[in-house]
Amino acid sequence: MLTFPKDEVTVMLNTNATSFRKDIFKILEQTIKWGEPVNISTKDGNAVIISEEDYNGLMETLYLSSIPDLKDAILKGLNTPISECIPENEVQW
């Protein structure tokens, strides 16, 4: 039986396919509720399960990372003094 630590932070739950099959609903609930990824080991290799929310976040990060010069534009904006910024009501969306 799998146990989940209550008083410590776990980066990733590691289990094998047999234990995963036995506790699939409990493990999936843990992954969805607490964002805890699961590494499932098999004789042919490993698979990782993450929540849909975490997956969507990863995809968004990959997409944003693919836009040329976006990082530099964000850093430039972060370093711009408030006095040099356009007032919110003047921003054209």
44: left (phi over 0), alpha (psi -120 to 50) or beta: alpha
The parts of the chain modelled with pLDDT lower than 50 are 1
**Which residue shows structure tokens 């098999």?**
42
For the record, the structure tokens of 16 come out as 């094998």
pLDDT at 92: 87
Helices 52-65 and 70-78 cross at an angle (nearest 10°) of: 90
CA distance 53 to 56: 5
Which residue segments constitute the domains of the chain, with CATH numbers given? 13-49 (3.40.1620)
Per residue in 53-71, pLDDT (tens digit) is 999 999 999 999 899 999 8
pLDDT at 1: 45
CB proximity list for 28: less than 8 A, separation 6 or greater: 49
